[in-house]
A = this chain, B = another copy of it.
């Protein structure tokens, strides 16, 4: 037991992604249709193997998978966890290292190739995808959705589902759609102001047939900020 030199003792390791975006009807996840066994034809979280001689670390492997599927380079990115047991993959004891990414849907161009015959956006129900998924991906996706929904309550994370420039009303609408309840406008703006993570873009306004709204952008070098209280 000094070292796992018997390679058959090593589990199989994949890196899988729950890539979320917001559509008019609610949260969606990017799924890939599997081209090969096992689960050929089924929908699954996009993923891949670690390329031992190409990937510097786990996050680099996940970024590579993301780039290959979406053409997107650097969105919000967070490790959800590892899921591993003897039964989840018929090929043997396996691990899935799962990351979630948040992106603005407009920023994505769907890619094809690899194991997958196609990739498409699918709605999230109350919990997980509305269609059956390969492996234990339904449970994994559920964990990612739960993590995302929890973090909406006390972090600035939802801002990553918007494009670079956005108004405060748009940001509030994102929180409201993810939380499934309406928020008070003045309380919302107070919270956002307190944590100081966005800044007005001087002179830029969103125009419509009503009072124009100030556009904001993320402050540079600000990762996700936690509220003192819930939103």
Contact = CB atoms under 8 A, between A and B. Distances in A.
Contacts of A32: none
Nearest to A91: B3
Contacts of A9: 49-52
Interface stretch (A76-84, A125-133, A212-220): A76-84
Contacts of A12: 4, 10
Given A10-B7, A13-B11, A52 B92 contact: yes
A58 interface: yes
A229 interface: yes
Contacts of A55: 86
A8 interface: yes
Contacts of A79: 81-82
Interface residues of A, number: 38
A171 to B, nearest CB: 23
Given A52-B8, A52-B9, A84-B58, A1 B97 contact: no
A51 to B, nearest CB: 8
A222 interface: no
Given A2-B115, A95-B97, A115-B2, A11 B52 contact: yes
A226 to B, nearest CB: 9
A50 B3 CA distance: 11
A16 B81 CA distance: 14
Nearest to A36: B2
Nearest to A89: B3
Given A13-B13, A82-B79, A49 B97 contact: no
